[in-house]
Structure 1
Amino acid sequence: MTPELALTELRRGLEVMLWVGGPLLLCVLVVGVVVGVVQAATQINEPTIAFIAKAVTLTAALFAIGSFLLAYLVDYTVALFHRIPHLIG
């Protein structure tokens, strides 16, 4: 395995990580900012409100796009397993 091939596989893995984790993190980030702004405007500084809102958002996002993200991850894994002979030899 050459260093270029290792870096290519590492890049592919990082891309998959961004595609799978990015939408979920983006949803939680947006909700966290909105809840933070509302809490600052109303002066209600209760950390459990932000946590519950983020947890509900993450659960809803997983229900909405979880199957697509899992399919993307499975496709990458299958393709990686198929590339193993090329990576070794």
Structure 2
Amino acid sequence: MTPETALTELRGGLEIALWVGGPLLLVVLVVGVVIGVIQAATQLNEPTIAFVAKAVALTAALFATGGYLMGTLVEYTTALFHRLPHVIG
């Protein structure tokens, strides 16, 4: 395996990780900021509220996009397994 091939495969894996994790992290980030602003405005500083809100938002995002994300992972893994003999040999 050449260094170019290894870097290409590594780049593909990182791209898939961003495509799968990015939307979920973005949802948690937005919910965290909104809850933080609300808590700052009301001076109600309870960490449990933010945690529960983020957990609920993450669960909702997984239910909404789980099929697409799993399909993306399966497609990438299948393509990687098909490329594996060419990468090794």
RMSD value, Cα: 0.3
Q: Does 1:86 align with 2:67?
A: no
Letter in 1 for 2:57: T
Letter in 1 for 2:54: K
Per-residue deviation, residues 20-52 of structure 1 (Å, max 9, x unmatched): 000000000000000000000000000000000
Structure 1: 5+ residue stretches without partners: none
**Any runs of at least 4 consecutive aligned residues in structure 1 with deviations exceeding 6 A, and if so which?**
none
Residue in 1 that maps onto 2:46: 46
Structure 2: 5+ residue stretches without partners: none
Letter in 1 for 2:84: I
Residue in 2 that maps onto 1:20: 20
Give the TM-score taking structure 2 as reference length: 0.99
1:7 Cα offset (Å): 0.3
Tell me how many residue pairs correspond in the alignment: 89
Residue in 2 that maps onto 1:31: 31
